A and B are shown apart, each in its own frame.
Chain A
């Protein structure tokens, strides 16, 4: 029987959306394979989580332990190894999140289960066939696995859309295998990043800049344009990494999620981490030299041209219009 397990991800008392995305995909796959979907819930004070997941899976396996309250790869790996070894699910799905990235590769290696990461598509025949992206989203790759009785995939956030369902769910409590404190990794605390003067999540118009801006000196041109159009300047990861803009201007999965009326992506190629932070914008316009940049797959309108030729022309038109 090709059973599918999904790992429930929660943080600070809340289930993260990826958990429902994984359950949705698992149910879709199980309809074809005839296997059952099991949600793995590791945590402390799990009752509210159980209520939330109930009806989304055929079964929930709950491991309740105070040591599992916050994510700790050492504890989670120990517990998950235990379960995957005894239950032997055909396929295990974990989110490709800071949590899943940390635990999945080592877990697979420990249990000798083949792993592929950041997958956006899954097919099941005798084995598993996965689709994932390479080269910053410019290409997709079909991934085949060596023969195995178990597979482990991490799944990109937002790759699958959550759907509602109403399954009757069996809840199985398994006693925690954690007998003593493990000593190597100790979770201390969560820290909220400091915020500066500009809140890009509240702006109507955001100009997002990426690597294509090339030099810090060019920032002035962008700032002037943003002022002309009445927007604020946000950025993709490389710009924040270089220190050209503060970290709180970074749009993307590890930064801010924004939903402005208008987002203009300038010189941003469109890595998935960035896309997930801006795809909710009402109108997206992308300006990029590379006609195949993945950003054009997300934008409503595109301009394939040199950024620094487009900006002055555009600024002039906008200023004319405003007069």
Chain B
């Protein structure tokens, strides 16, 4: 069972105030840290588990510049066998991203392609499904359980309201993986050290002609739908105010 996992490096913005840069179309990234997209990390784990169960290989594919090597090497340390970095630095929309991935993946041998179900930064949830369509293979999105037997995958998709949809899909196929499907492992220090020496194949895509369907023309702070009354003062004072509110509302 040979798998390909598409991974993205994203800025870590949870709990942080993010600022729009001078172009008005992007955020200030110079003080942010970067890491692998969360659902991509679950996708790697799912691919490695499949390899451990059924044999085969795991290949990582990531679009970006040399900074991406950090997340690629961590994937290799966790158990991926090889990696390709598609060298490209311009802004991409979901469709262009899928085209770039397709150009590289169409020449590779695979049974399953994994992607995360959503990128934490742009939140499109579209690259995997688009890639599958471009490659002409079936797919399922938001996968929370996967079993493979004889070129047939049985999957659970996560729907709304705690409901699960169970389906069968013939391989080769693509799955976009939802967070929580497994428990991503940590790589050992030894494995991390070993991965430092592993080769990452570079595909230069800088001059690739791509169709961009959409462009971000402006970023702005969302207008509040219901602005909260912010309780001011010391922590103690805030606690007193909040207790008064709770009393007033009759919930205590």
Q: Is A179 on the interface with B (CB-CB < 8 A)?
A: no
Q: Is A223 on the interface with B (CB-CB < 8 A)?
A: no
Residue among B160, B167, B228, B238 making CB contact with A310, cutoff 8 Å = B238
Q: Is A56 on the interface with B (CB-CB < 8 A)?
A: no
Q: Is A178 on the interface with B (CB-CB < 8 A)?
A: no
* Contact pattern, A 111-153, Cβ under 8 Å of B = 1, otherwise 0: 0001111100000000000001111111111111110100000
| A254 B252 Cβ-Cβ under 8 A | no
Q: For the complex, give the distance between the alpha carbons of A292 and B15 in Å.
A: 9
A226 to chain B minimum Cβ distance, whole angstroms, is 13
Q: Is A198 on the interface with B (CB-CB < 8 A)?
A: no
| A116 B228 Cβ-Cβ under 8 A | no
| A317 B138 Cβ-Cβ under 8 A | no
| B217 A143 Cβ-Cβ under 8 A | yes
A17 to chain B minimum Cβ distance, whole angstroms, is 10
Contacts of B231 in A (CB 8 A): 301-303
Contacts of A96 in B (CB 8 A): 125
Q: Is B161 on the interface with A (CB-CB < 8 A)?
A: yes
With contacts A142-B218, A299-B228, A310-B239 taken as known, whether A193 is within 8 angstroms of B142 at the C-beta atoms is: no
The 3 closest A-B pairs by CB, nearest first: A114-B213, A241-B180, A302-B228
Interface residues of A (CB under 8 A from B): 11, 16, 71-74, 96-99, 101-106, 108-110, 114-118, 132-146, 148, 157, 183-193, 204-205, 211-212, 229-230, 237-238, 240-241, 243, 247-248, 253-257, 261-262, 269, 282-286, 289-294, 296-306, 309-310, 313-314, 316-318, 321-322
Residue among B98, B157, B173, B213 making CB contact with A102, cutoff 8 Å = B157
| A240 B229 Cβ-Cβ under 8 A | no
Q: For the complex, give the distance between the alpha carbons of A98 and B143 in Å.
A: 10
Contacts of A115 in B (CB 8 A): 94-95, 126, 130, 213-214
Contacts of A257 in B (CB 8 A): 161
Contacts of A137 in B (CB 8 A): 222
Q: Is B18 on the interface with A (CB-CB < 8 A)?
A: yes
Q: For the complex, give the distance between the alpha carbons of A105 and B98 in Å.
A: 10
Contacts of B236 in A (CB 8 A): 313
Residue among B121, B215, B252 making CB contact with A322, cutoff 8 Å = B252
Q: Is B67 on the interface with A (CB-CB < 8 A)?
A: no
Q: Is B163 on the interface with A (CB-CB < 8 A)?
A: yes
Further 7 A-B residue pairs, CB within 8 A, beyond A144-B217, A190-B163: A109-B133, A142-B216, A247-B180, A253-B160, A283-B245, A297-B228, A318-B246
Q: For the complex, give the distance between the alpha carbons of A140 and B25 in Å.
A: 10
